């Protein structure tokens, strides 16, 4: 056991060791005093392409009974093996650790609870008060660790640490120097997808040791993916399959988990010629020709989750029937009540037209408007580039009444339709929900959607006319803009 006075020495030692030397030494034979050698070997085998990271981490951790650096911050993209490496080390070496996913911790109390119960058993955690504060946690930790002092370094692993920023502002700085606070051999390992700069609190804090997990290179991906080869085929065949797969997907996706999922999904299709006896395993080119278009299609559908994996597999089964799956985004049509459609159109017009032009568009005798100064300078940029603008309820209703061809009584159900459009998220309310006095809304649907709606509503051409006119005016400057073409082509359609 080290006394607490030796605390600063330990991190210093690590900094002195040159990382390059360290890596060189470790990659030859991964050995770390204090840990069983065969476990380390099997660990290194189970973590391909992460040997250097593993070695560095082990070096950082030091021997089990030594004090370790108080906090380590590990960052890297999704699926670069951060939590996998850390948790494998913890599990294989049987180190005392508490692993917490910060998504689950809606309050810091849950975090404390989990840490305490992992280290000292559920009875200790039960001692926490109902809404524990940080000092409660520290007090209880101290009390418990004095009863059972750490013989090995204890590790607290916080996955998705970026969520901690939303919690209590003092939590992160306190956890970073928890070792000092509780006076115990404890190390906090933070895992995150974003860099440390985004974490640093305004008030400053103890700087953790930063440690980056780089993305896997293509060769590394091939190596890892080739690991889970199908038992009934040779590993070489699977490796060549993975090569083909990466050739298609590497440019769009480097997420190992996703690639693995895709590899599993499409392998049966790859093997189809082999099973039928049309090709041999050495016939890579033929197999490639067979699978390539299939993978391209997979990229457009199953990768984007337009088609679920089960449906994708089923489609592979009955390929002969050539069933074309309807993708998710194909069901874009929404059936709406008649007045809801008009309300939505009115909301769109109110959102994208400047309020000054309303008189021109919606009054029959609007008088002459000088063309030169009709639009102010800042209004000349297309409104579609600026996004929807909020409008008050009164304006919406005024446009609605002028757009609807028949006389509509201002019934309660017309108003309730507005709120149901808000819950369907076709409109969105700006400002607070409790603003009863002239609430403001924004239209949150696209032009294509509105055009589809107005096409099925439009018995009278006037409305579409209006829509087109307002769009033409909007897109005066940006000639190439799509809305113009759509508007004009729609006029032709009618």
Partner 1 sequence: MGNCSNEHRGTSFSASAASLSNPLICSSINTFFFLDKYIFSQVIQDQLNKKVLDSLAEFIKKHGLGCSSDNWRQRAREIPTAALMLGVNVPDHAMTFRSLCNLLQDSVTPFVVSVHAKECAGTFERDPVLVINLTLVCQATLTIRIIGLLQKCTQVFPQRTESLTNSDLPQSLPVVVIFKDFEAFNSQVLQDFILICSRYTQELPFIFIFGIATSPSAIQHRLPHSVSSLLCIEVFHSLSCTQHLASVFDKLILNSQFPFKLSSRVIQVLVGIFLYHDFSVQNFVKGLQFSMLEHFKSQPLSMLCCQKQEALLSAKTLSKKNVERIRHLPSFMRYVETQEPQEQVQLLTNDEHVKEVCQQLLKNLHKYHKNYYPILQCLHSLTSSLPKFPLGKHIRELHVSCIEKNLWETEEYDSALQLLRILAKDELVAALRKCAEILKSTKILQNVLQQLEDFIGRLEALEGKSETTLLEKESRRTKRMNPYEVLRSQVIEFIDSLVREYLTPAELQPLNEVCYYSSSGVLRQRLNVTPRTSIQAALSHPFYYFLKTDAGTISSAAPDLCIVYKLHLECGRLINLYDWLEAFVTVMSAAEDQDTNSEDARFIQAVSEMEFLGFIKSTKQKTDHVARLTWGGC
Binding site for partner 1 (CB under 8 A): 78, 101, 103-107, 110, 113-114, 117, 122, 125, 228, 230-231, 257-258, 260-261, 264, 304-305, 308-311, 326, 328-329, 331-340, 409-414, 416-417, 420, 423-426, 437
Q: What is the DSSP letter of 326?
A: P
Cα dihedral across residues 353, 359, 362, 364: positive or negative: negative
Strand partners, 154: 186
**CB nearer to partner 1: pick between 266 and 475:** 266
CA distance 211 to 190: 10
Least Å from the CB of residue 260 to partner 1:
7
* Nearest Cα to Cα of residue 69 among 210, 213, 209: 209
**CB nearer to partner 1: pick between 317 and 409:** 409
Least Å from the CB of residue 311 to partner 1:
6
Least Å from the CB of residue 3 to partner 1:
34
Looking at 277-373, list the stretches that DSSP marks H as alpha helix, in order from N- to C-terminal side. 284-300, 309-317, 338-352, 358-362
User: SS3 for 63?
Assistant: coil
Neighbours of 275 (CB within 10 A): 9
Least Å from the CB of residue 351 to partner 1:
18
**CB nearer to partner 1: pick between 12 and 412:** 412
Least Å from the CB of residue 231 to partner 1:
7
CA distance 299 to 5: 58
Extended strands (E) in 367-408: 391-392
Q: What is the DSSP letter of 386?
A: H
Least Å from the CB of residue 263 to partner 1:
10
**CB nearer to partner 1: pick between 321 and 335:** 335
CA distance 339 to 142: 66
Least Å from the CB of residue 420 to partner 1:
7
Report the C-alpha dihedral over residues 100, 102, 103, 109, rounded to 10 degrees: 90
CA distance 173 to 188: 11
**CB nearer to partner 1: pick between 103 and 195:** 103
**CA angle at residue 443 from 442 to 449, to 5 degrees?**
170
**CB nearer to partner 1: pick between 61 and 302:** 302
**CB nearer to partner 1: pick between 69 and 241:** 241
**CB nearer to partner 1: pick between 7 and 334:** 334
41 close to 30: Cβ distance less than 8 angstroms: yes
Least Å from the CB of residue 410 to partner 1:
6
152 close to 185: Cβ distance less than 8 angstroms: yes
Please count the residues of the chain. 494
């Amino acid at each position: 056991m080290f006394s607490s006075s030796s605390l600063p020495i330990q991190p210093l030692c690590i900094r002195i060791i040159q990382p390059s030397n360290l890596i060189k030494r470790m990659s030859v034979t991964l050995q770390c005093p204090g840990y069983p050698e065969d476990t380390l070997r099997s660990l290194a085998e189970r973590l391909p392409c992460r040997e250097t990271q593993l070695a560095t981490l082990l070096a950082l951790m030091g021997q089990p009974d030594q004090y370790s650096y108080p906090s380590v911050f590990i960052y890297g993209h999704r699926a670069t093996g951060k939590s996998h490496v850390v948790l494998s080390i913890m599990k294989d070496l049987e180190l005392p650790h508490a692993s917490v996913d910060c998504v689950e911790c809606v309050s810091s109390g849950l975090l404390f609870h989990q840490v305490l119960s992992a280290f000292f058993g559920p009875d200790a955690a039960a001692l926490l008060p109902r809404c524990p504060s940080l000092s409660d946690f520290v007090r209880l930790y101290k009390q418990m660790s004095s009863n059972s002092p750490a013989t090995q370094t204890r590790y607290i692993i916080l996955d998705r640490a970026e969520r901690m920023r939303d919690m209590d502002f003092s939590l992160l700085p306190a956890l970073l120097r928890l070792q000092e606070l509780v006076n115990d051999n404890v190390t906090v390992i933070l895992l995150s997808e974003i860099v440390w700069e985004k974490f640093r609190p305004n008030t400053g804090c103890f700087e953790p040791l930063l440690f980056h997990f780089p993305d896997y290179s293509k060769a590394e991906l091939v190596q890892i993916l080739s690991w889970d080869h199908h038992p009934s085929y040779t590993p070489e065949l699977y490796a060549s399959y993975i090569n083909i797969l990466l050739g298609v997907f590497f440019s769009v996706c480097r997420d190992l988990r996703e690639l693995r999922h895709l590899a599993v999904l499409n392998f049966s299709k790859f093997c189809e010629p082999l099973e039928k006896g049309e090709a041999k395993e050495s016939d890579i080119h033929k197999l490639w020709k067979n699978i390539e278009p299939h993978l391209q299609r997979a990229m457009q559908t199953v990768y984007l989750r337009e088609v679920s994996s089960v449906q994708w597999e089923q489609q592979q089964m009955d390929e002969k029937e050539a069933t074309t799956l309807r993708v998710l985004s194909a069901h874009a049509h929404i059936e709406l009540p008649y007045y809801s459609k008009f309300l939505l159109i009115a909301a769109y017009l109110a959102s994208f037209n400047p309020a000054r032009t309303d008189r021109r568009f919606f009054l029959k005798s609007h008088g002459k408007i000088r063309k030169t100064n009709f639009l102010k300078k800042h209004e000349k940029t297309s409104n579609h580039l600026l996004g929807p603008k909020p409008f008050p309820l009164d304006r919406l209703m005024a446009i609605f009444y002028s757009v609807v061809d028949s006389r509509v009584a201002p019934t309660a159900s017309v108003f309730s339709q507005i709120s149901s459009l808000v819950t369907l998220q076709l409109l969105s309310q700006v400002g607070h929900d409790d603003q009863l006095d002239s609430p403001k809304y924004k239209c949150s649907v696209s032009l294509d959607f509105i055009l589809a709606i107005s096409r099925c509503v439009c018995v009278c051409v006037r409305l579409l006319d209006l829509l087109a006119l307002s769009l033409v005016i909007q897109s005066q400057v940006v000639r190439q803009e799509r809305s113009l073409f759509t508007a004009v082509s729609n006029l032709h359609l009618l």
